[in-house]
Every structure is written in structure tokens, then in C-alpha cells.
Amino acid sequence: MKLTNLIRITAAIMLAIMPICASADDNNNNQKTQSRNTVAGHRICVFNGTEQDARTQAQAAMASVSKNFENMPADLIYNAPIWKVLVGQCINRTEATILLQRIRKIFPAAFIVNERINTLDFTTAPSFTLPNRDPNAPDSTAVAIIE
């Protein structure tokens, strides 16, 4: 009888511990997956502040980004005590510099920051668009055939 109770208690303890171990493993797997799905990249910081009204200013900056750059990825980030608004997802510094020039027309104090870019959210299209090319212009990649 005592052995049966001991087995029941041991089984109850094991069942209680199993979900804790499983959730810890799940968290570890999520972190591994998350690190595999990110690459080094650049974003544009349009707002960075710690003032008393920084939250309000950050929300206003987000609204302005949404209004002026409709399809551009933007994130409002709070790491106590700093509020940030980060815009765009650029793989290389050249792309980030071009995007920065566009954004500085609205946010003159914007600057480039190094960030991890999530590849699951990333599309092949850059965060900025180049001017439309004239369809009648000769293709610069065409090869001339000399006869």
C-alpha cells in the first residue's frame, strides 16, 4: 500500500513537472528559430526620447510615418525609459542611406541604426522605391550583337 502511494505521488510530481520542462524547451526552440530567422540589417530611427511626454511624441511620430510612408514597416518600441520609432528594413547600408534621405524630408533628425531584421517579415522589395524607369529607354543590361 505504501509503495502504491509512493508511485502515485511520484507520478503526480512527474506530471506537474512535465509541462514546465516542455514550456522551457518550447521557449528555447522559439529563441533558436527566432535567431535563425533574423539577419544583421539597418533601420531608420525617426524618434528617440526619454522625456515625460516621450510616449505621446512617439505615437505622433508613428502616425506621421503611417500617413507619409503608407507601406513602410514601422515599429513603436519601449525599452524603459526610452521610446523609439524605427522605420524600414534594410539589408545593406546603401539601401538604408537612400531610405534615410527620403525620410529626412519629414524627420530631419532621423538616423540609421543597426538592427536585426526578421527574414519572415522581409520581402524581396526594398523599403524604398526607385523612380519609374522610362519603358522606351534602351535596356542597360542588353548586349549588343555585332555582325
Q: Retrieve residue 31's grid coordinates.
A: 529563441
- Pairing mode of beta strands 38-49, 82-90: antiparallel
- pLDDT tens digits along 109-147: 999 999 998 877 655 555 555 455 555 555 444 444 454
Task: Supply the pLDDT for residue 147.
Answer: 45
Domains in the chain and their CATH numbers? 39-118 (3.30.70.1070)
Whether 57 and 140 have beta carbons less than 8 Å apart is answered as: no
Q: How far is CA 7 from CA 10, 17, 18, 84, in A?
A: 5, 15, 16, 55
Helix or strand run (H / E) with residue 115: strand 111-118
Calculate the dihedral angle through the C-alpha atoms of 92, 98, 110, 44, rounding to the nearest 10 degrees.
-30
pLDDT in tens, 20-66: 444 444 555 555 445 678 889 999 999 999 999 999 999 999 999 99
